[in-house]
């Protein structure tokens, strides 16, 4: 069989909601820690005399480690459950946060070491999806996982608070506060979190499960979907301020506030994408999402005026990217085998994180060569069209076959 099932129980109706709330909080807190270096990039560039490439590397290291780290963390969650993994990841993230805050801001090497281990906080996504998935019946999983996914708003906490805290309290302040919050959460998670009764527990060796998961069609299909949907969100949340400042001449504060609006809308749209997927199925939602992204990116590629067309295009894109992220994991919850949800989530989550790493590099390269961001946005529109084609053909047939199978297959 390869997995065993815990003894069934009948938990109180409120318990799944409590578990969802705590998991979402843990996701937000760890993502807050994971994103601490990005807002301080310009400060470190000035203080340490970093080149633009070194600054980009500093911001990229936690993203890469947090993305790739989701692969083993998701597989470990299939085995040990969120009850163990949530407090473990949260406690482990405290170490690099304190290191950077207290001793790691004196050199690029120290920041890179701290940033590498800070990436651990970004792996928590692969803990929460299988944990939440096991607590809810199939017809509610899309919304539940979408609500959990809204914890990605933790990056907005970092974006809005890190620089002001440094200015008012000193360079260590945001790191000390974040470490304290992580410690409180780790203790609460250890005391309160419980794995769902009857959750599927993987018992095969790690590499055996990984090899089996890689062979699943849904793994690679969802990787493509999430690389475009969540990768697009990550890319814009990182690069939008620079785009608005360079392309439209906005002040730094104005650009940062508009980026925050983009992030908030995408975060709120994620549970909506999951909820709609529960109602009409993830494939129709994803189809609509990629149509909207293609049209919005195509309009913005023409570099219209920021008010109102550019603003409408970006906010529409934000909602579509958020909804698409929610719908992707509704699809995973529907199609992936129960004992491999964590492992699939790890691979798909890694694809999403890495998907957000590539577009800013492309946008910077295109602007450097052409003096315009138009071609970069046109490439996003083309990518969305190709992903739409994959959704309405291959993915639609895979989802239909899985839905037609008897429960428990």
Q: Which distant-in-sequence residues (6+ apart) come within 8 Å of 193 by Cβ?
A: 19, 22, 23, 82, 83, 86, 87
Q: So what's the pLDDT on residue 206?
A: 77
Class of domain 205-403: mainly alpha
Of the pLDDT bands very low, low, confident and very high (cuts 50, 70, 90), residue 70 is very high
Tell whether the model's pLDDT for residue 342 goes beyond 70: yes
Of the pLDDT bands very low, low, confident and very high (cuts 50, 70, 90), residue 165 is very high
Of the pLDDT bands very low, low, confident and very high (cuts 50, 70, 90), residue 409 is very low
Tell whether the model's pLDDT for residue 273 goes beyond 50: yes
Beta carbons of 311 and 262 less than 8 angstroms apart: no
State how far the Cα of 225 lies from the Cα of 348, in Å rounded to an integer.
9
Q: What is the overall mean pLDDT for the chain?
A: 88
Bigger pLDDT: 242 vs 137: 137
Tell whether the model's pLDDT for residue 252 goes beyond 80: no
Q: Which CATH number fits domain 14-196: 3.40.50.280, 3.40.640.10, 1.10.340.30, 1.20.1250.20?
A: 1.20.1250.20
Q: What average pLDDT score do residues 363-386 get?
A: 85
Domain boundaries along the sequence of the chain: 14-196, 205-403
4 - beta bridge partners? 201
Tell whether the model's pLDDT for residue 145 goes beyond 80: yes
Of the pLDDT bands very low, low, confident and very high (cuts 50, 70, 90), residue 405 is low
Bigger pLDDT: 206 vs 88: 88
Q: So what's the pLDDT on residue 9?
A: 42
State how far the Cα of 98 lies from the Cα of 82, in Å rounded to an integer.
24
Tell whether the model's pLDDT for residue 255 goes beyond 90: no
Residues in the chain: 409
| Least trusted range by pLDDT, from 66-80, 190-204, 291-305, 349-363 | 349-363
| Least trusted range by pLDDT, from 63-67, 236-240, 304-308 | 236-240
Of the pLDDT bands very low, low, confident and very high (cuts 50, 70, 90), residue 221 is very high
Bigger pLDDT: 340 vs 52: 340
| Least trusted range by pLDDT, from 2-6, 222-226, 339-343 | 2-6
Tell whether the model's pLDDT for residue 11 goes beyond 90: no
Coil, helix or strand at residue 380: helix
State how far the Cα of 264 lies from the Cα of 393, in Å rounded to an integer.
32
| Least trusted range by pLDDT, from 4-8, 39-43, 146-150, 381-385 | 4-8
Q: So what's the pLDDT on residue 12?
A: 61
State how far the Cα of 115 lies from the Cα of 96, in Å rounded to an integer.
7
Is the pTM above the cut of 0.85? no
Q: So what's the pLDDT on residue 369?
A: 82
Q: So what's the pLDDT on residue 326?
A: 94
**Same fold across 14-196 and 205-403:** yes
Q: So what's the pLDDT on residue 155?
A: 84
Structural tokens at position 391: 């959704």
Could you give the percent of the chain with pLDDT greater than 70? 95
Tell whether the model's pLDDT for residue 2 goes beyond 70: no
Q: So what's the pLDDT on residue 208?
A: 85
Peptide bond into 308 cis (omega under 30): yes
The dihedral sign for the CA sequence 199, 202, 206, 210: negative
Structural tokens at position 82: 């969120």
């Amino acid at each position: 069989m390869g997995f065993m099932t815990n003894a069934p129980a009948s938990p109180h109706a409120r318990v799944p909601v409590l578990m969802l709330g705590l998991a979402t909080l843990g996701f937000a807190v760890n993502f807050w820690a994971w994103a601490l270096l990005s807002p301080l990039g310009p400060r470190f560039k000035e203080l340490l005399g970093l080149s633009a490439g070194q600054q980009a590397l500093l911001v990229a290291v936690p993203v890469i480690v947090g993305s790739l780290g989701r692969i083993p963390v998701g597989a470990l969650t299939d085995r040990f459950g969120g009850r163990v993994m949530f407090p473990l990841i949260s406690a482990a993230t405290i170490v690099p946060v304190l290191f950077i805050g207290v001793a790691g801001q004196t050199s690029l090497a120290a920041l890179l070491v701290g940033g590498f281990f800070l990436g651990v906080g970004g792996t928590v996504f692969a803990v929460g999806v299988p944990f939440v998935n096991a607590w809810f019946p199939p017809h509610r999983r899309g919304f539940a996982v979408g609500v959990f996914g809204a914890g990605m708003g933790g990056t907005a906490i970092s974006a809005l608070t890190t620089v002001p805290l440094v200015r008012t309290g000193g360079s260590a302040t945001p790191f000390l506060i974040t470490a304290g919050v992580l410690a409180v959460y780790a203790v609460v998670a250890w005391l309160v979190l419980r794995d769902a009764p009857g959750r599927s527990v993987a018992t095969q060796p790690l590499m055996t499960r990984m090899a089996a998961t890689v062979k699943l069609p849904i793994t690679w299909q969802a990787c493509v979907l999430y690389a475009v949907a969540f990768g697009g969100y990550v890319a814009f949340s990182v690069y939008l301020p620079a785009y608005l400042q360079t392309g439209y001449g906005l002040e730094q504060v104005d650009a940062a506030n508009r980026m925050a609006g983009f992030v908030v809308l995408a975060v709120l749209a994620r549970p909506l994408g999951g909820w709609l997927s529960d109602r009409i199925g993830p494939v129709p939602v994803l189809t609509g999402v990629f149509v909207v992204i293609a049209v919005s990116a195509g309009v913005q590629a023409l570099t219209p005026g920021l008010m109102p067309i550019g603003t409408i295009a970006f906010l529409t894109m934000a909602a579509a990217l958020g909804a698409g992220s929610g719908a992707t994991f509704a699809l995973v919850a529907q199609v992936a085998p129960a004992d491999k949800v964590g492992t699939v989530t790890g691979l798909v989550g890694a694809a999403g994180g890495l998907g957000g790493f590539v577009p800013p590099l492309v946008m910077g390269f295109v602007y450097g060569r052409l003096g315009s961001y138009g071609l970069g946005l046109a490439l996003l529109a083309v990518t969305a069209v190709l992903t739409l084609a994959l959704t309405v053909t291959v993915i639609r047939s895979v989802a239909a076959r899985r839905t037609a199978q008897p429960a428990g297959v």
